[in-house]
């Protein structure tokens, strides 16, 4: 069964500092991987996704993530954090079979940004 | 509509009552998901639909929970004899489903916040 872990429950960074949020997954085949963001009072929004090709993917708002098969990881990075990045971040893994697909989410990492 | 629509946005009910939560997915999206998000928790998978069929009901917490989808569109999540531990935000999402080229991206509604007193 697929599963996702996000080791950091909460992270605090200073505005302008770099950021890395960790994600590890368990899945028997090549996964589809996603990062979603949930800002306070708002719905979930897709930041970026990986399903094939280049293992370094670029997303919205200056975020990027790198798929490392050997480490079963898909860590999210941003070189310079803005105060508006404070939110909950969810890593997710999907599977696509012949008849259906299913997406499982990790527990989330809460990001606080110090001005 | 342009996005996933959920109703009601807020529901307060008494323990033991039944509730129905509605989800209207994006037009043309064949896949529909229900998740539950409790305070400070991640997204707990409940059930998935491809068309009107539910290939995966593994996440439903108990037999008090059921869901249906009709016409390949609107879905209803029903919770019978609600308990206080059912209090949470129930999120619905839709996607293109098992179609060629689909990468599984989910589009979420704003959620239905359920409070059981």
pLDDT at A103 over 90: no
CB contact under 8 A, B55 and A90: no
Distances (CA, A) of B59 to B35, B36, B48, B56, B100: 9, 10, 9, 8, 26
CATH number for the domain harbouring residue A41: 2.60.40.10
Residues of chain A found within 8 Å of residue B45, distances taken between Cβ atoms: 102-105
**DSSP letter (8 states) at residue B73:** S
Contact between B7 and B76 under an 8 Å Cβ cutoff? The reply is no
State the pLDDT confidence band at B12, using cuts at 50, 70 and 90: very high
Can you tell me which residue has the tokens 């179609």? B99
Which one-letter DSSP state was computed for residue B64?
A: T
Contact B107, B26 (CB under 8 A): yes
Give the chain B residue nearest A98 (alpha carbons).
B98
The domain total for chain A is: 1
Q: Is residue B89 part of a domain?
A: yes
Residue A98 pLDDT: 46
- Over residues B55-90, the pLDDT tens digits come to 888 899 999 999 999 888 999 999 999 999 999 999
CA distance A56 to A63: 11
Domain range enclosing B91: 5-100
Record: contact A99-B98, CB cut-off 8 A: yes
- pLDDT for the residue numbered B30: 87
Which residues of chain B have a CB within 8 Å of the CB of A45? 108
| Cβ contacts of B102 on chain A, cutoff 8 Å | 96, 101
From the number of C-beta atoms within 10 Å of its C-beta (0-12, 13-18, 19+), residue B18 rates as exposed
Q: Could you please report the per-residue DSSP string of A85-108?
A: G-EEEEEEEEEE-SS-EEEEE---
Q: Which of B96, B104, B46, B106 is nearest to B76 (CA)?
A: B46
Q: Is A13 on the interface with B (CB under 8 A)?
A: no
CATH at B35: 2.60.40.10
User: Following DSSP, what letter does each residue of A54-80 receive, concatenated?
Assistant: -SEEE-GGG-EEEEEGGGTEEEEEESS
In angstroms, what separates the C-alpha of B28 from chain A's closest C-alpha? 16
Chain B residues close to A90, C-beta within 8 Å: 42-43
User: What is the least distance, in Å, from the CA of B81 to any CA of chain A?
Assistant: 27
pLDDT single digits (tens) B20-45: 999 999 998 888 999 999 877 789 99
Considering the domain boundaries, does residue B116 fall inside one?
no
Decide: A15 and A115 in contact? Cβ < 8 Å: yes
Residue B117 is assigned to a structural domain of this protein: no
Under an 8 A CB cutoff, do A102 and B110 touch? no
B102 reaches A (C-beta below 8 A): yes
Question: Of A44, A51, A101, which has the smallest distance from its Cβ to B97's Cβ?
Answer: A101
B75 in a structural domain:
yes
| Domain total of chain B | 1
The CA angle A91-A95-A101, to the nearest 5 degrees, is: 110
Of B42, B55, B109, the CB nearest to A105: B42
pLDDT band at A51 (very low <50, low <70, confident <90, very high): confident
**Position A108 confidence tier, pLDDT thresholds 50, 70, 90:** very high
Is residue B22 situated within a structural domain? yes
What's the CA gap between A87 and A24, in Å, rounded? Answer: 20
Q: Is the pLDDT of residue B50 over 80?
A: yes
Contact state of B43 with A90 under an 8 Å Cβ cutoff:
yes
The Cα of B82 is separated from the nearest Cα of chain A by a number of Å equal to: 25
Across A18-37, average pLDDT: 90
> Between A and B, how many CB-CB pairs are < 8 A?
68
- Domain containing residue A61: 3-114
Identify the three-state secondary structure at position B47. strand
Give the β-pairing of A73-78 and A87-96. unpaired
**Span A42-71, average pLDDT:** 91
């Amino acid at each position: 069964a697929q599963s996702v872990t996000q080791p950091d429950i909460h992270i605090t960074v200073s505005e302008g500092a770099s950021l890395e949020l960790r994600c590890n997954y368990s899945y028997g085949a090549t996964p589809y991987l996603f990062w979603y963001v949930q800002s306070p009072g708002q719905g979930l929004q897709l930041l970026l996704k990986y399903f094939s090709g280049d293992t370094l993917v670029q997303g919205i708002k200056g975020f990027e993530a790198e798929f490392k098969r050997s480490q079963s990881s898909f860590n999210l990075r941003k070189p310079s954090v803005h105060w508006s990045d404070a939110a909950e971040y969810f890593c997710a893994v999907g599977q696509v079979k012949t008849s259906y697909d299913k997406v499982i989410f990790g527990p989330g990492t809460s990001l606080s940004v110090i001005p | 509509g342009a996005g996933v629509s959920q109703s009601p946005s807020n529901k307060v009910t008494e323990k033991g009552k039944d509730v129905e939560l509605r989800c209207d997915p994006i037009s043309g999206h064949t896949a529909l998901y229900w998740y539950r998000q409790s305070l400070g928790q991640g997204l707990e998978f409940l059930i998935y639909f491809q068309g009107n069929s539910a290939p995966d009901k593994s996440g439903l917490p108990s037999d008090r929970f059921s869901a249906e989808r009709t016409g390949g569109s609107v879905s209803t999540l029903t919770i019978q004899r609600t308990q206080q531990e059912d209090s949470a935000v129930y999120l619905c999402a839709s996607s293109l489903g098992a179609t060629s080229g689909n990468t599984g991206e989910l589009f979420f509604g704003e959620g239905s916040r359920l409070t059981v007193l």
